[in-house]
Protein backbone atom coordinates (compact mmCIF):
# COMPACT_ATOMS: atom_id res chain seq x y z
CA UNK A 1 0.00 0.00 0.00
CA UNK A 2 1.06 3.58 -0.55
CA UNK A 3 2.45 5.89 2.12
CA UNK A 4 -0.64 8.10 2.10
CA UNK A 5 -3.01 5.14 2.63
CA UNK A 6 -0.95 3.96 5.61
CA UNK A 7 -1.03 7.44 7.13
CA UNK A 8 -4.81 7.92 6.84
CA UNK A 9 -5.48 4.41 8.14
CA UNK A 10 -3.18 4.86 11.16
CA UNK A 11 -4.92 8.14 11.93
CA UNK A 12 -8.31 6.40 11.96
CA UNK A 13 -6.96 3.64 14.23
CA UNK A 14 -5.46 6.25 16.58
CA UNK A 15 -8.73 8.21 16.77
CA UNK A 16 -10.77 5.07 17.40
CA UNK A 17 -8.42 3.99 20.19
CA UNK A 18 -8.63 7.49 21.69
CA UNK A 19 -12.33 6.92 22.17
CA UNK A 20 -11.61 3.96 24.44
CA UNK A 21 -8.32 5.03 26.06
CA UNK A 22 -6.98 8.34 27.27
CA UNK A 23 -3.98 8.50 24.97
CA UNK A 24 -1.69 11.54 25.22
CA UNK A 25 -1.73 13.45 21.93
CA UNK A 26 2.04 13.14 21.35
CA UNK A 27 1.65 9.35 21.05
CA UNK A 28 0.24 10.05 17.58
CA UNK A 29 3.81 11.00 16.60
CA UNK A 30 4.94 7.46 17.40
CA UNK A 31 1.99 5.96 15.52
CA UNK A 32 2.79 7.91 12.35
CA UNK A 33 6.53 7.39 12.68
CA UNK A 34 6.23 3.62 12.91
CA UNK A 35 3.67 3.30 10.13
CA UNK A 36 6.09 5.18 7.86
CA UNK A 37 9.07 3.26 9.21
CA UNK A 38 7.94 -0.23 8.12
CA UNK A 39 8.48 0.50 4.42
CA UNK A 40 12.13 1.54 4.76
CA UNK A 41 12.85 -1.96 3.42
CA UNK A 42 12.04 -0.71 -0.08
CA UNK A 43 14.05 1.87 -2.02
CA UNK A 44 11.15 3.74 -3.56
CA UNK A 45 9.16 4.30 -0.36
CA UNK A 46 8.83 7.67 1.33
CA UNK A 47 11.88 7.32 3.59
CA UNK A 48 13.49 4.23 2.06
CA UNK A 49 15.30 6.36 -0.51
CA UNK A 50 17.78 7.55 2.13
CA UNK A 51 21.27 6.10 1.56
CA UNK A 52 21.65 4.98 5.19
CA UNK A 53 18.80 2.47 4.78
CA UNK A 54 20.61 0.77 1.87
CA UNK A 55 22.51 -1.80 4.02
CA UNK A 56 19.23 -2.81 5.64
CA UNK A 57 17.64 -3.20 2.20
CA UNK A 58 20.48 -5.50 1.17
CA UNK A 59 19.81 -7.66 4.22
CA UNK A 60 16.05 -7.98 3.97
CA UNK A 61 13.62 -8.14 1.07
CA UNK A 62 10.65 -5.80 0.83
CA UNK A 63 7.87 -7.23 2.97
CA UNK A 64 10.31 -9.62 4.57
CA UNK A 65 11.41 -9.60 8.19
CA UNK A 66 10.50 -5.97 8.79
CA UNK A 67 6.90 -6.67 7.78
CA UNK A 68 6.36 -9.18 10.56
CA UNK A 69 4.74 -9.32 13.97
CA UNK A 70 7.96 -10.37 15.62
CA UNK A 71 9.75 -7.18 14.47
CA UNK A 72 6.74 -5.09 15.43
CA UNK A 73 6.97 -6.53 18.93
CA UNK A 74 10.75 -6.37 19.27
CA UNK A 75 11.05 -2.77 18.10
CA UNK A 76 8.06 -1.65 20.20
CA UNK A 77 9.50 -3.36 23.29
CA UNK A 78 12.81 -1.62 22.66
CA UNK A 79 11.03 1.74 22.63
CA UNK A 80 9.22 0.61 25.78
CA UNK A 81 12.55 0.81 27.63
CA UNK A 82 12.28 4.59 27.28
CA UNK A 83 8.56 5.30 27.15
CA UNK A 84 5.55 3.04 27.64
CA UNK A 85 3.12 5.21 25.71
CA UNK A 86 5.71 5.44 22.94
CA UNK A 87 5.88 1.65 22.89
CA UNK A 88 2.10 1.49 22.62
CA UNK A 89 1.96 4.11 19.84
CA UNK A 90 4.78 2.48 17.90
CA UNK A 91 3.09 -0.90 18.05
CA UNK A 92 -0.27 0.53 16.99
CA UNK A 93 1.31 2.25 13.97
CA UNK A 94 3.32 -0.82 13.06
CA UNK A 95 0.38 -3.18 13.41
CA UNK A 96 -1.91 -0.94 11.39
CA UNK A 97 0.71 -0.94 8.61
CA UNK A 98 0.94 -4.75 8.62
CA UNK A 99 -2.84 -5.07 8.75
CA UNK A 100 -3.26 -2.95 5.61
CA UNK A 101 -0.49 -4.74 3.73
CA UNK A 102 -2.21 -8.07 4.52
CA UNK A 103 -4.98 -7.01 2.11
CA UNK A 104 -2.59 -6.68 -0.82
CA UNK A 105 -2.10 -9.31 -3.48
CA UNK A 106 1.61 -9.64 -2.75
CA UNK A 107 0.79 -10.14 0.92
CA UNK A 108 2.92 -10.12 4.03
CA UNK A 109 5.01 -12.75 5.82
CA UNK A 110 3.27 -11.81 9.04
CA UNK A 111 4.70 -14.73 10.98
CA UNK A 112 8.24 -14.41 9.63
CA UNK A 113 10.53 -16.44 9.71
CA UNK A 114 7.72 -18.78 8.60
CA UNK A 115 7.27 -18.68 4.82
CA UNK A 116 3.49 -18.42 5.04
CA UNK A 117 2.05 -15.26 3.49
CA UNK A 118 -1.16 -13.49 4.46
CA UNK A 119 -2.65 -12.20 1.22
CA UNK A 120 -5.64 -10.17 0.04
CA UNK A 121 -7.09 -8.96 -3.23
CA UNK A 122 -5.94 -5.33 -3.41
CA UNK A 123 -3.23 -4.34 -5.86
CA UNK A 124 -0.95 -1.66 -4.37
CA UNK A 125 -1.47 1.69 -6.06
CA UNK A 126 -4.56 0.50 -7.95
CA UNK A 127 -7.98 2.16 -8.12
CA UNK A 128 -9.17 -0.11 -5.31
CA UNK A 129 -6.50 1.38 -3.08
CA UNK A 130 -7.53 4.86 -4.24
CA UNK A 131 -11.08 4.15 -3.08
CA UNK A 132 -9.84 2.86 0.28
CA UNK A 133 -7.68 5.98 0.62
CA UNK A 134 -10.53 8.37 -0.14
CA UNK A 135 -12.88 6.55 2.27
CA UNK A 136 -10.33 6.68 5.07
CA UNK A 137 -9.63 10.33 4.30
CA UNK A 138 -13.32 11.15 4.68
CA UNK A 139 -13.52 9.25 7.96
CA UNK A 140 -10.58 11.34 9.21
CA UNK A 141 -12.17 14.59 8.08
CA UNK A 142 -15.37 13.55 9.84
CA UNK A 143 -13.61 12.64 13.11
CA UNK A 144 -11.35 15.73 13.13
CA UNK A 145 -14.33 17.91 12.26
CA UNK A 146 -16.24 16.41 15.18
CA UNK A 147 -13.37 16.95 17.62
CA UNK A 148 -13.03 20.62 16.66
CA UNK A 149 -16.78 21.14 16.63
CA UNK A 150 -17.03 19.90 20.21
CA UNK A 151 -14.00 21.90 21.30
CA UNK A 152 -15.55 25.09 19.96
CA UNK A 153 -19.11 24.57 21.11
CA UNK A 154 -18.73 22.76 24.44
Distance CA 4, CA 154 (A): 32
Choices 88-96, 97-105, 124-132, 138-146; region in contact with Zn ion by CB under 5 A = 97-105
Q: At 100, which helix (H) or strand (E)?
A: helix 84-101
Choices 38-46, 49-57, 73-81, 121-129; region in contact with Zn ion by CB under 5 A = 38-46
Q: Does 101 bind Zn ion (CB under 5 A)?
A: yes
Answer for which of 7, 15, 37, 39 binds Zn ion (CB under 5 A) is 39
Residue 30 CB-density burial (10 A; 0-12 exposed, 13-18 middle, 19+ buried) = buried
Secondary structure of residue 104 in the 3-state scheme: strand
In the complex, minimum distance from the CB of residue 142 to Zn ion, in angstroms, rounded to a whole number: 26
- Helices 84-101 and 69-80: crossing angle, nearest 10°? 160
Between 69 and 143, whose beta carbon lies closer to Zn ion?
Answer: 69
In the complex, minimum distance from the CB of residue 121 to Zn ion, in angstroms, rounded to a whole number: 16
**What residues line the site for Zn ion (CB under 5 A)?**
39, 101
Amino acid sequence: MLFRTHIVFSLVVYFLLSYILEIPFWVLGFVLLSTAFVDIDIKNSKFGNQWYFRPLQWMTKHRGALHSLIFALLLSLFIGIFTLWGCFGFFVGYFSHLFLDCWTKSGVRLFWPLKFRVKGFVKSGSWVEDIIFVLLLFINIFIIGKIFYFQIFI
